[in-house]
Structure 1
């Protein structure tokens, strides 16, 4: 992702102060081309990874994952969102333009990173859904992941479709998509095949211990349990 973020940063100079109406669409078009190029590479690498994992699992039959493109509408919506604060309604007192530009650049980098990472993650997810030898996929959360990502990670390889992946688990969770991968999220999806056992990493076992301990006496449903887990993680 370092190369992607470098290339996205280089394109930011297209946007010209005082000429947003003309230059922001030009910037969006250039970023879209860059994102699509990196997304294709990411999807290809993810497909290769899936096939390697399938071979290691000695899964039967032959299965070739489909490559995933970034939907044009999704890309356009993400980049519009990233630059939306450059235009401030007249009735509001706007922050300084330097502050708005810096915030938009940060949001744009996160949006571009997510679009590319989603291409890789969706390649795995869609392959798991289509492959009869796939048991499911597990969320591999980074050490610095947010509480919700950690919560999804401790569930193990239960994800096979959009509902089980967390589409309805928290509608207010930041970021688009059924599978709840947000901007600046470094989680990825790893397939698990029939006959394979799942052995969580030590940090995942620790998150599970914290979850079990923090929620054992909680009443009030899943929202209350999520909040208890979030507070417990913050205290560690």
Structure 2
């Protein structure tokens, strides 16, 4: 039986890696000048891209080590595939970051705004260089374990209403972190998917979602270990979901992981699946779009 426990450990390790990446990412904001975006944005994008490459390589290596360990545990003969680790392309990084920061181009940002200045300084003060040296998968899992219980989208801060410019800055920061999280974790997930695609002994991968995942991720998780190619990846379901690339789509801030399944193994669904299936069935029985109904059920806390 394919091990859900080891998939969760790898999921936590990848989340721990992302937590360190976000620390390093905070340090890049000092190279961005809101009053001179046209001149400083390229330098900032280059700094972010370098961080995404570094942590993407680490995420991919973690993913391949995990795949090889799962293959050995399944007693699969022969060598495990070693696909190339594919870090995000520069064009993808640039377009994603420009989308994330589009609100900062508003003319109002250039006007005096104490709330904007306060929030900007707060972001700059968060700078804290992370250190990957000497950290193994277990260390990263310890860092990321508690983070798996956090919501997909960061909660709105319980503070007084922000000025329009400060609100745009807060949203830009959240969107940048979300984009970076997806791009780095996609490298780890993609390494596993590429290995499965090359491995004749691999049946496919199952999606392992966080305990409080969104409706889309819960829906994809319910499909089980069917993801091997475009036909089984859920093309029609994914077509309704615009974020992410390819057939195995993940949204910004997504904490899902991909667990491989080999010949002779059975997939052990995560314990939340029974509840999610009941929620999905109710959503499907309602009038209208099933996924939208599923989101409504989750927002209602049912």
TM-score, shorter chain, exceeding 0.5? yes
Q: How does 1:66-105 map to 2 (within 5 A)?
A: 66=83, 67-88=85-106, 96-105=164-173
Distance verdict in 2 for CA 1:210–1:18, change over 3 Å = closer
Q: Does structure 1 retain, via aligned residues, the 8 Å contact 2:208–2:270?
A: no
TM-score (structure 2 length as normaliser) = 0.70
Q: Are residues 1:10 and 2:27 paired?
A: yes
Q: Does structure 2 retain, via aligned residues, the 8 Å contact 1:9–1:109?
A: no
In structure 2, stretches of 5+ residues that fail to align are 1-17, 109-162
Indicate the residue corresponding to 1:152 in structure 2: 220
Indicate the residue corresponding to 1:226 in structure 2: 291
What is the deviation of 1:205?
2.2
- The CA deviation string for residues 4-58 of structure 1, in whole angstroms up to 9 with x for no partner, is 1111111112111311111111100000001100000000000000000001011
Of the structure 1 ranges 205-214 and 130-139, higher mean CA displacement relative to structure 2 is found in 205-214
> 2:28 aligns to what SS in structure 1?
helix
Q: How does 1:114-193 map to 2 (within 5 A)?
A: 114-178=182-246, 179-193=248-262
Indicate the residue corresponding to 1:112 in structure 2: 180
Q: What CA distance in whole angstroms lies between the structure 2 residues aligned with 1:123 and 1:54?
A: 14
TM-score (structure 1 length as normaliser) = 0.88
What is the deviation of 1:214?
4.4
Q: Does structure 1 retain, via aligned residues, the 8 Å contact 2:205–2:259?
A: yes
Q: RMSD of the alignment, in Å?
A: 2.1
In structure 1, stretches of 5+ residues that fail to align are none
Q: Does structure 2 retain, via aligned residues, the 8 Å contact 1:12–1:105?
A: no
Indicate the residue corresponding to 1:207 in structure 2: 276
Q: What CA distance in whole angstroms lies between the structure 2 residues aligned with 1:53 and 1:107?
A: 34
> 1:191 aligns to what SS in structure 2?
strand
Distance verdict in 2 for CA 1:124–1:193, change over 3 Å = same
